[in-house]
Amino acid sequence: MPEYILRHQPSRVWPELIDAVRTAGFTRYVIARDGSDLFSCVEVDEPIRAANALADSPAASRWLDSLAPLMDVRDAQLPWRPLETVFDLAWPEFR
Protein backbone atom coordinates (compact mmCIF):
# COMPACT_ATOMS: atom_id res chain seq x y z
CA MET A 1 0.00 0.00 0.00
CA PRO A 2 2.82 2.53 0.59
CA GLU A 3 3.75 2.45 -3.11
CA TYR A 4 0.11 2.93 -4.13
CA ILE A 5 -0.15 5.97 -1.87
CA LEU A 6 3.14 7.33 -3.18
CA ARG A 7 1.98 7.02 -6.80
CA HIS A 8 -1.11 9.09 -6.03
CA GLN A 9 0.81 12.07 -4.67
CA PRO A 10 0.28 15.18 -6.83
CA SER A 11 3.83 15.17 -8.11
CA ARG A 12 3.51 11.55 -9.29
CA VAL A 13 0.11 11.55 -11.03
CA TRP A 14 0.55 12.07 -14.76
CA PRO A 15 -0.82 15.39 -16.08
CA GLU A 16 -2.34 13.53 -19.04
CA LEU A 17 -4.29 11.33 -16.62
CA ILE A 18 -5.67 14.38 -14.81
CA ASP A 19 -6.64 15.84 -18.20
CA ALA A 20 -8.38 12.57 -19.16
CA VAL A 21 -10.34 12.49 -15.90
CA ARG A 22 -11.48 16.09 -16.31
CA THR A 23 -12.23 15.68 -20.03
CA ALA A 24 -14.36 12.63 -19.21
CA GLY A 25 -16.53 14.91 -17.06
CA PHE A 26 -15.42 14.21 -13.50
CA THR A 27 -15.58 17.29 -11.31
CA ARG A 28 -14.37 15.50 -8.18
CA TYR A 29 -12.58 12.18 -7.77
CA VAL A 30 -11.54 11.07 -4.29
CA ILE A 31 -9.82 7.82 -3.33
CA ALA A 32 -9.88 6.86 0.34
CA ARG A 33 -8.66 3.77 2.10
CA ASP A 34 -9.33 1.69 5.17
CA GLY A 35 -6.35 -0.59 5.59
CA SER A 36 -5.95 -2.27 2.22
CA ASP A 37 -9.54 -1.52 1.10
CA LEU A 38 -9.82 1.35 -1.39
CA PHE A 39 -12.93 3.42 -2.02
CA SER A 40 -13.56 5.89 -4.83
CA CYS A 41 -16.07 8.67 -4.59
CA VAL A 42 -16.71 10.75 -7.69
CA GLU A 43 -18.85 13.70 -8.67
CA VAL A 44 -19.95 13.69 -12.27
CA ASP A 45 -23.05 14.79 -14.17
CA GLU A 46 -23.23 11.81 -16.54
CA PRO A 47 -21.67 8.82 -14.73
CA ILE A 48 -22.01 6.20 -17.46
CA ARG A 49 -20.72 8.50 -20.22
CA ALA A 50 -17.84 9.65 -18.02
CA ALA A 51 -16.89 6.12 -16.99
CA ASN A 52 -16.92 4.99 -20.63
CA ALA A 53 -14.84 7.99 -21.70
CA LEU A 54 -12.29 7.25 -19.00
CA ALA A 55 -12.23 3.56 -19.92
CA ASP A 56 -11.46 4.57 -23.53
CA SER A 57 -8.64 6.89 -22.48
CA PRO A 58 -5.11 5.71 -23.37
CA ALA A 59 -3.74 7.60 -20.35
CA ALA A 60 -6.17 5.87 -17.98
CA SER A 61 -5.36 2.48 -19.50
CA ARG A 62 -1.63 3.07 -19.07
CA TRP A 63 -2.22 4.24 -15.50
CA LEU A 64 -4.15 1.08 -14.63
CA ASP A 65 -1.44 -1.02 -16.27
CA SER A 66 1.16 0.72 -14.11
CA LEU A 67 -0.86 -0.08 -10.99
CA ALA A 68 -1.38 -3.76 -11.89
CA PRO A 69 1.62 -4.93 -9.81
CA LEU A 70 0.11 -3.19 -6.77
CA MET A 71 -3.56 -4.17 -6.98
CA ASP A 72 -6.20 -6.13 -8.83
CA VAL A 73 -7.01 -3.54 -11.49
CA ARG A 74 -10.02 -5.53 -12.71
CA ASP A 75 -11.92 -3.93 -9.82
CA ALA A 76 -11.04 -0.48 -11.18
CA GLN A 77 -12.61 -1.11 -14.56
CA LEU A 78 -16.21 -1.02 -15.71
CA PRO A 79 -18.91 -1.70 -14.84
CA TRP A 80 -19.01 0.90 -12.13
CA ARG A 81 -22.06 0.71 -9.94
CA PRO A 82 -23.72 3.89 -8.77
CA LEU A 83 -24.63 3.76 -5.10
CA GLU A 84 -27.93 4.85 -3.65
CA THR A 85 -27.53 7.99 -1.55
CA VAL A 86 -29.13 7.49 1.85
CA PHE A 87 -27.87 10.71 3.46
CA ASP A 88 -26.28 13.88 2.11
CA LEU A 89 -25.52 16.89 4.27
CA ALA A 90 -25.86 19.01 1.11
CA TRP A 91 -29.57 18.18 0.79
CA PRO A 92 -31.73 21.34 0.86
CA GLU A 93 -33.49 20.15 4.02
CA PHE A 94 -30.23 20.52 5.95
CA ARG A 95 -29.33 24.03 4.79
Q: What is the mean pLDDT of residues 40-62?
A: 90
Nearest to 29 by CA among 45, 16, 17, 40: 40
**pTM for this entry:** 0.78
Q: What is the mean pLDDT of residues 49-74?
A: 88
pLDDT tens, residue by residue, 1-37: 799 999 999 999 999 999 999 999 999 999 999 988 8
Cα atoms in the 13 Å half-sphere on the side-chain side of 18: 8
Q: Tell me how far apart the alpha carbons of residues 78 and 48 are, in angstroms, rounded to a whole number.
A: 9
Domain 2-82, architecture per CATH: 2-Layer Sandwich (3.30)
Which is more confident, 76 or 61? 61
Q: Tell me how far apart the alpha carbons of residues 14 and 75 are, in angstroms, rounded to a whole number.
A: 21
Q: For residue 49, is it left (φ>0), alpha (ψ between -120 and 50) or beta?
A: alpha
Q: In the structure, what pLDDT confidence band is assigned to residue 79 with cuts at 50, 70 and 90?
A: low
